[in-house]
Structure 1
Amino acid sequence: MIYEFQGFIPVVHPSSFVHPLAAVIGNVIIGKDVYVGPGAAIRGDWGEIIIEDGCNVQENCTIHMFPGKSITLKKGAHIGHGAIIHGANIGANCLVGMNAVLMDDVSLGDECIVGALTFIKGGTEIPNRKMVVGNPAKIIKDITDDMIAWKTKGTALYQKLPGQCHETLKEVEPLREIPEDRPAAQEALYQTLEEFKNK
């Protein structure tokens, strides 16, 4: 659902997909080819949230901040299931792992990878191309070209997903038995995965 708040109406590019079970509130700008999954909460009630082109905000993520802050998820940022971005700025082509928490005034450099369940305390600055893990978070190594190529390919799958959702996702009643002609595989997904492997 998309909600106006104090005169701010979210802006969502038509190529992007916001699941109806997500909540996007107020001062939010969503660029091109962005996927927002069910259960995500993007609350632009206390400040501006900009989600640039090609990002994805997966299921049950929360994006919010303290009053008066504005935050940006730069192009190609990949926010894994259940992650919390609270007043943090995310660099271009970053991967934030599942259930990670990034607190206020964190600055995550470009092409970083944050491990699942990592906690990055407020005010932390992470330089470009670092691997960050743990609670409290620690930088453990540099990101290699191969690692960022792997991340970029994974994000490309999510950049195709908004178009696939616009074309085929619809609310239905469940079937009560398995039909004889049920497809053996999700062909579109497997084709995309083959492209992923072959790049």
Structure 2
Amino acid sequence: MEGVSIIPFGGKTPVVHPSAFVAPGCRLIGDVEIGPESSIWYNCVLRGDVNRIRIGARTNIQDGTVVHVDSPLAPGEAGQPTLIGDDVLIGHMAMVHGCVLDDGAFVGLGATIMNDCHVATGGMLAAGALLTPGKRIGAGELWTGRPAKLARMLTEAEMAFNRLGVVHYVENARAHRAAIGAMTGD
């Protein structure tokens, strides 16, 4: 992975599935696992230094996003890992911290999702929104604002559009991998 920093930390080394795409400029640190056909776009930072980050299949994390975790506060506590399911879309410059994003969740451009939050299957945090600690976005719900609140339920057409986005990013990642390979001779 040309131009990608893979940094072991605390005895853990990031693991990237061979079919995943990690763009140049990314930094993967510590206990990070990236699943099949997922894509981590240019200049993202995934820092699993004090807890774990797990990313499922066909998930995309767009340019400039930071994914981090919450450390345990006391001995014997688990802290809060960041667990991202399959087919998740995360927009450019998002901040994803110590939370759970179920399969098919959506985090918009520049959105922030904080510790102990949970976005259920098909739930969406809108662009620029701030989901404060401990909040739950239910299946098919759209939350907007700073702080974010339930705005409405997503339509079936909106949820279908998000599912198409997953397919688009898998294909686009393949094209970027090929373009980078052509430049580097890989």
Tell me, yes or no, whether TM beats 0.5.
yes
- 1:8 equivalent in alignment to 2:12: yes
TM (norm. structure 1) is 0.83
Q: Distance in 1 between matches of 2:182 and 2:146?
A: 40
Q: Distance in 1 between matches of 2:133 and 2:40?
A: 25
Alignment of 1:165-180 (within 5 A): 165-170=176-181
Aligned partner of residue 158 in structure 2, secondary structure: helix
Match of 1:56 in 2: 60
Larger Rg: 1
Match of 2:36 in 1: 32
Match of 1:89 in 2: 100
Q: Distance in 1 between matches of 2:29 and 2:172?
A: 22
Flag as ranges the 4+ runs of structure 1 deviating above 2 A: none
Aligned partner of residue 21 in structure 1, secondary structure: coil
Aligned partner of residue 86 in structure 2, secondary structure: coil
- 1:142 equivalent in alignment to 2:148: no
Match of 2:126 among 106, 112, 115: 115
Equivalent pairs, count: 172
Aligned partner of residue 44 in structure 1, secondary structure: strand
Q: Distance in 2 between matches of 1:43 and 1:133?
A: 26
Q: Distance in 1 between matches of 2:111 and 2:182?
A: 31
Q: Distance in 1 between matches of 2:146 and 2:46?
A: 24
Aligned partner of residue 72 in structure 1, secondary structure: strand
- 1:70 equivalent in alignment to 2:81: yes
Q: CA RMSD in A?
A: 1.3
- The letter of the residue matching 1:132 is W
Does the 8 Å CA contact 1:56/1:79 hold for their aligned counterparts?
Answer: yes
Match of 2:143 in 1: 132
TM (norm. structure 2) is 0.88
Query: Unpaired runs of 5+ in structure 1?
Result: 173-199
